[in-house]
């Protein structure tokens, strides 16, 4: 990521006489700064650095959205209740879960957010949300829900015989 602070600030009037030096500075250090006559500061950075900044902006957006959703859901769980309706925000599929599941979800997402911030990567959050979404989709299907959450007794299980 480019370092936007520079020791030298060039004046716009220098561009004509020293444009090559200014461009070389931007290539070598990742940034060159110009100040226009009206005081506007302009930064020159290589295009590859901009692509990295754009990528980071996407990561920050994922982290910020996750934190916003997390805080609302965490507050409901802390109040010992299931989040409902608008509290589910971008994750309406969470309605499939009970309070115990929400408690686990909050713990999982808290850890993922912590890892994402530490690594400056959205992947931990995306992985957790994807896994929980798949579980919610399975619970949304009545047959799967009954299989996953249905009650069973010892009589429901029989020893399989060896095929002949």
Measuring CA to CA, which residue among 137, 131, 140, 129 is closest to residue 70?
129
- What's the rounded mean pLDDT across residues 71-81? 97
- Bridge partners (DSSP) listed for residue 10: 34
List of residues 6+ apart from 96 with CB closer than 8 A = 135, 136, 139, 140
Task: Write out pLDDT tens, residues 19-65.
Answer: 888 888 888 888 888 888 888 888 888 887 787 778 888 899 999 99
Bridge-based pairing state of the strands 9-11 and 32-35: parallel
Highest mean predicted confidence (pLDDT) among 7-16, 115-124, 145-154: 115-124
Question: Using CA atoms, how far apart are residues 131 and 123, in angstroms rounded to an integer?
Answer: 12
Predicted pLDDT of residue 88: 96
SS3 20: helix
Question: Using CA atoms, how far apart are residues 14 and 34, in angstroms rounded to an integer?
Answer: 9
- pTM for the predicted model, two decimal places: 0.66
Average pLDDT, the chain: 88
How much of the chain, in percent, has pLDDT values that exceed 90?
49
Domain boundaries, the chain: 9-45, 50-145
Q: Which helix (H) or strand (E) holds 146?
A: helix 142-149
For the record, the structure tokens of 124 come out as 């931990």
Highest mean predicted confidence (pLDDT) among 1-10, 59-68, 133-142: 59-68
Task: Write out pLDDT tens, residues 135-155.
Answer: 999 988 877 767 777 777 777
Alpha-carbon distances, residue 12 vs 5, 7, 37 (angstroms): 18, 16, 7
- What's the rounded mean pLDDT across residues 82-97? 96
Predicted pLDDT of residue 56: 85
């Amino acid at each position: 990521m480019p370092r936007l602070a520079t020791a030298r600030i060039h004046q716009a009037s220098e561009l004509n006489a020293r444009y090559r030096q200014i461009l070389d500075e931007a290539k070598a250090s990742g940034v060159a700064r110009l100040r226009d006559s009206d005081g506007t500061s302009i930064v020159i950075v290589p295009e590859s650095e901009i692509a990295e900044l754009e990528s980071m902006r996407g990561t920050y957006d994922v982290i910020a959205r996750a934190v916003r959703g997390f805080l609302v859901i965490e507050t409901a769980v802390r109040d010992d209740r299931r989040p409902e309706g608008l509290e589910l925000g971008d994750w309406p599929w969470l309605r499939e879960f009970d309070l115990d599941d929400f408690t686990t979800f909050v713990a999982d997402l808290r850890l993922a957010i912590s890892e994402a911030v530490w690594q400056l990567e959205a992947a931990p959050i995306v992985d957790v949300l994807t896994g929980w979404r798949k579980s919610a989709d399975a619970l949304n299907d009545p047959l799967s829900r009954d299989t996953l959450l249905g009650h069973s007794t010892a009589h429901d299980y029989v020893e399989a015989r060896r095929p002949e």
